[in-house]
Amino acid sequence: MKSLFYLNKYLVKYKYYILLGLIFIICSNFFGVYMPKIIDQAADNLTSFAEKQNIIDSDDKSEIWSLGISLALTFMGFALLKGIFLFFTRQTIIVMSRLIEFDLKNEIFAKYQSLNISFYKQNKTGDLMNRISEDV
């Protein structure tokens, strides 16, 4: 865990990406969790409305169809909003991780520039390149 504390400076540097990603996560989860509750309430209202109006037994079911369609559109709208916020969450977090990766690679490269020739004689070039490209 000690090695992870080193990354805290990047979390502070990119705090706005983290906050924006957190907001997107909250919004995405809100629409994901609240969607069944809205659907449940709408279905209960639809059933009680149909029973009050005695629409189930009548031939004119246009009102119940319009309520059902609005229920389906609400469900699709919530699903669409959840998907949009999930996309923004992923994009924000991925952009932040790429920026941190770029900073880490530049930091390692700057360190390599300051080392003397004896360091390069003791270490293989492939190992050093792997450190920058893969290990970060």
Domain span at 101:
2-133
136 or 78: which leads in pLDDT: 78
CA distance 104 to 114: 16
Alpha helices in 8-61 (DSSP H): 8-13, 15-53
Q: Region 57-61: what's the mean pLDDT?
A: 56
Q: Which helix (H) or strand (E) holds 128?
A: helix 125-133
Tokens (6 digits) for 67: 């309520």
Neighbours of 123 (CB within 10 A): 12
Please give the DSSP secondary-structure letter assigned to residue 55.
Answer: T
Q: Is the dihedral of CA 104, 24, 1, 11 positive or negative?
A: positive
Over the stretch 78-130, which tens digit does the pLDDT of each residue have?
999 999 999 999 999 999 999 999 999 999 999 999 999 999 889 898 888 88
Asked whether the whole model's pTM tops 0.95, one would answer no
Domain count, the chain: 1
- Are residues 28 and 86 in contact, defined by beta-carbon separation less than 8 angstroms? yes
pLDDT of 58 above 70? no
pLDDT of 49 above 60? yes
CA distance 76 to 70: 10
What is the pLDDT at residue 1? 76
The mean pLDDT of the chain is 86
Q: Is the dihedral of CA 17, 20, 26, 31 positive or negative?
A: negative
